Amino acid sequence: MDFLLLHGGLHGGWCWQETARTLRAFGHRVVTPTLTGSGERAHLLTPEIDLDTGIADIVAVIEAEELSDLTLVAHSLGGAVACGVADRLGCGIVTRLLFLDAMILQNGRSVLDEMPQEVAATRREMARASGMNSIEPIAPESFGLTDADQIAWVARRQTRQAFGCFSQPLKLAHPVGNGAACTYIRCTRPRYPAVEPSAAWARDQPGWSFVEFDACHDAMVEKPHRLACLVETLAVRA
């Protein structure tokens, strides 16, 4: 089975290291791309980067790697990108979508639109203060991490995030998922407030699966092996 693990804001493909290693040990093909301007591609950050940039990144990876019958696992901000990728490629390629504590966007909506107002206001102020249309890294403890080694590991790898990924409305030609089997994984310890509206929407969607996972928002860092087992189980069931 093919898996593409898509990181969230302020992260990169690096955050999936242990989860990807476990899935590969199970015999699956796994890719962990990094979006333009993030992680090891931070040197490419520009004020013009937005959701369309990220969608083009992932579509190009899927096509270049010739991935098929694909399970796309999207974390946090990556959920917005995943919505666009599925819309463009359809369920013939993206067969399963797993939203891991992720943002979900409807047509014409932005990530800021789907966040609680107080969270969106904070993101806007961070971008304004940066003077670069981007958001500075934030304390890993904000993602619920408590282990000192994990906090340090994330802190030294975080990079800035283009604000356009938050502010650009997403254009969709199809309903969310575009025919893929969709599951929302809500991390519960503690509940990350920025994604609560998306999680609540997903919980009420007919035909969707909704599961709770006893982990913090950065579940792939805190509990990577348990997450890999959950992801594989959900992909097989879909």
Catalytic residues: 76
- Residues in contact with 108: Cβ distance below 8 Å, sequence separation at least 6, in sequence order: 169, 170, 171
Query: Residue 208: CA atoms inside 13 Å, Cβ hemisphere, count?
Result: 23
Task: Write phi, then psi, for 102 (nearest 5 degrees).
Answer: -115, 160
Summarize the chain as % helix, strand, coil (round to 5). Answer: 45, 15, 40
Which tokens sit at 154? Answer: 């994330």
List Cβ neighbours of 77 (8 Å cut-off, separation of 6 or more). Answer: 8, 9, 102, 103, 111, 161, 165, 166
